[in-house]
Structure 1
Amino acid sequence: MAITDAPEDVLRFLAARGSAGERTALVTLTGIEGSTSRGIGTIMAVAEDGACAGSFSGGCIEKAVVAEAIDAIRDGDARLVRFGAGSPYIDIRLPCGSGIDLLFSPLPPAAPVGAALELLAARKPVCLALDRDGRVGIDPLPQGAMLSRWIGEAFALVIAPPLRIVLIGQGEELTGTARLAACYGARVEAYTPDEGNAALLRTEGIAVQHLRSSRTLPDISPDPWSALLFLFHDRDWEEHLVAQALKDDYFYIGALGSRKTHEGRLTLLEAQGVSAELRARLRGPIGMIPATRDPQMLALSVLGEVAACYRDAVMVGVQAKVEQCE
């Protein structure tokens, strides 16, 4: 189970409740005055019975948002409402003293919600156009950075595919990183030559396949929203696989090892004819915490770095190839 609801989870809530014949509303954060704990484009879904997915303030205004959403569902009218500073609701305040603008889109049709989920499942970004009059539809992605924003009278809600982390390796470095990444909410895929590691991850519901060859990379279907980590202490397993992976469109490619190990790995890649441009894509040593030797600490360190790079990749925008974040 993920730590919190991701945008995809909020859309799934809308789809599930709609399929059950329940009326719902999509609520979107479209403006901020001051500083808040959520960013523009954050979404929340509310059903007529008060059930909801997502949040805007960690509990400060959620009850008021749910009440407003239920009212919008019942009268069928879209609305843009300010909460916090400058709001007509003087009894509802954010502790930080800020104000946020929420667009309530009641009764979102099933077709665009379903289409958005299909695009995200296919690892493609999506743009939902939300009009002030309540229309919800799929639009082409805006040019430039993947930022949700007002474009004319419609709000472009841009949602990137969720973070996907592909792990190739063995040992506790592999299992620990896979477990933590799954808990975080990333889509995790593991490949390992160790049947014991594979069996353990399968019992925890993590997608894992047996790695049979050290010379041919598995069919992973790379995309710009995915990270690839090599977690081997035995470098014989990665020698050819890393060279192949550097040609693919991952936003992050990293390999386990010390600075000295990484320098040796780069020398070996150069000897294999891998270009300097491709070699520069390989990160090492990996992680935000230097020289950690504890598998648990390594997992936390690496996941933090990968998550930060994913955020930067989303901010950069849709490109044929996403540049490796610095």
Structure 2
Amino acid sequence: MKDITAIRAILERPRGAVLAVIVGVEGPSYRPLGAMMTIYGKNDCVGSLSSGCIEADLALQAQETLREGAPRLVRYGRGSKFIDIQLPCGGGLEIVLLPTPDLAVLTQLDAKAKQRHRCALDIDIESGAMTLGLGGATRRTASGISIDIVPEIRVFAFGKGPEVNTFVALATSAGYPAVVLSPDDETIALAKNLGCVTQKLTSKTFPDDLAVDDRSAIILFFHDHDWEPEILAASLKTPAFYIGAQGSLKARDARFAAMRGMGVSDKDLERMHGPVGLISSVKDPTTLAISVLAEIVGKAMQDSGA
């Protein structure tokens, strides 16, 4: 998964922008291969490529690339000529600095990301040329790097009460867009105040118009478990990478029994998470939200090979 905040910064403010990309990693590293940062000058940047130990020098290098008008490949840490700049992790980083990156390609990339289409940003290190390709694992290529750009995690939270709103408050604060679906007006109102997309549920069914893709997580927070079977059965027909519902083991077993009665197979039920979260027997909404979001993000990273 790659955060394209640095790319969107260039599109909003292209003048004087230099895109810095990690194109080589040796040993431990604070940021992964393909991580990006936009540099405008000293103390004026978007993103980071280290814990703060190389950013000042990167800013100087970036200004030189702007004056020269050509990409520059620099190395820090292990094997670097900059012996006075050390990486605390003990590894080595290769970073390419790209002055005046291709705005047309970056605009296309941003459009694909907003449409939730997976793609790859392919960069030629020597020339700085950029093209878009098919998504796949981020990797170093013969001429440069191919950066896998996947849609951000999106959560669909069904239910009512503090568990829903606490969870989506945490998710949105972490940068994950959330859609709240609830039969409860107060839950809907609070979710709107958090900036969430909302939808009022008028029946115990899964809405036909939800755009669920393979980077979507569906989580149910109902205390009235009668709401769950039909919604979950329909959820299992979507490509969502995570589907779960709060409740105890007893509630899960009752849920599964009801879904089997609806014709849901045991193989499909294996996709279900429940009891949800990394922490067992959670009693308060805040801990539950942290536990569930951690499980969702962990599943997304596992599925993407990150």
| TM-score, reference length from structure 1 | 0.89
Residue pair 1:80, 1:101 contacting (<8 A) in 2 also: yes
1:248 aligns with 2:231: no
Contact (CA 8 Å) 1:105, 1:130: kept in 2 or not? no
Structure 1 residues 250-304: Cα deviation after superposition (integer angstroms, max 9, x where no partner)? 1100011111111111111111011222111111110000011111110000001
Match of 2:4, SS? helix
2:169 to 179, 188, 213: 179
CA distance in 2, matches of 1:50, 1:166: 37
For 1:226 and 1:136, locate their aligned partners in 2 and report how far apart those are by CA, in whole Å: 32
Matched residues in 2 for 1:253 and 1:103: separation? Answer: 39
The 5-angstrom pairing of residues 57-206 of structure 1 reads: 57-141=50-134, 146-206=136-196
Residues 228, 250 of structure 1: 8 Å contact kept: yes
Q: Give the Å deviation of 1:12.
A: 0.7
Structure 1 stretch displaced more, 52-61 or 241-250: 52-61
Aligned residues: 305
> Which amino acid in 2 is paired with 1:203?
N
Match of 2:217 among 227, 239, 255: 227
Distance 1:37 1:50 in 2: 20
Q: Are residues 1:39 and 2:32 paired?
A: yes
What amino acid sits opposite 1:179 in the alignment?
A: A
Deviating more after overlay: 48-57 vs 36-45 = 48-57
Distance 2:178 2:202 in 1: 19
Q: Deviations over 1:142-198 (max 9, x none)?
A: 6xxx32111211210111111111101111110000001111111111111111111
Contact 1:28 / 1:104 at 8 angstroms: preserved in 2? Answer: yes
The whole-number CA distance in structure 2 between the counterparts of 1:170 and 1:8 is 33
Distance in 1 between the 2:194 and 2:70 partners? 44
The CA RMSD over aligned residues, in Å, is 1.6
AA matched with 2:210: I
TM normalised by structure 2 equals 0.95
Q: Find the counterpart in structure 2 of residue 266 from structure 1.
A: 256
User: Which residue type is aligned with residue 181 of structure 2?
Assistant: Y
What secondary structure does 1:237 align onto? helix
| Cα distance in structure 1, aligned partners of 2:67 and 2:200 | 52
Residue of structure 1 aligned with 2:22, choices 29, 46, 58 = 29
Identity %: 32
CA gap of 1:31–1:164, structure 2 versus 1, over 3 A, is: same
Using the TM superposition, give the Cα deviation of residue 71 of structure 1 relative to its aligned residue in structure 2, in angstroms: 1.3
The aligned counterpart of 2:203 is: 213
Q: Which amino acid aligns with 1:239?
A: P
Contact 1:257 1:284 (8 Å CA) reproduced: yes
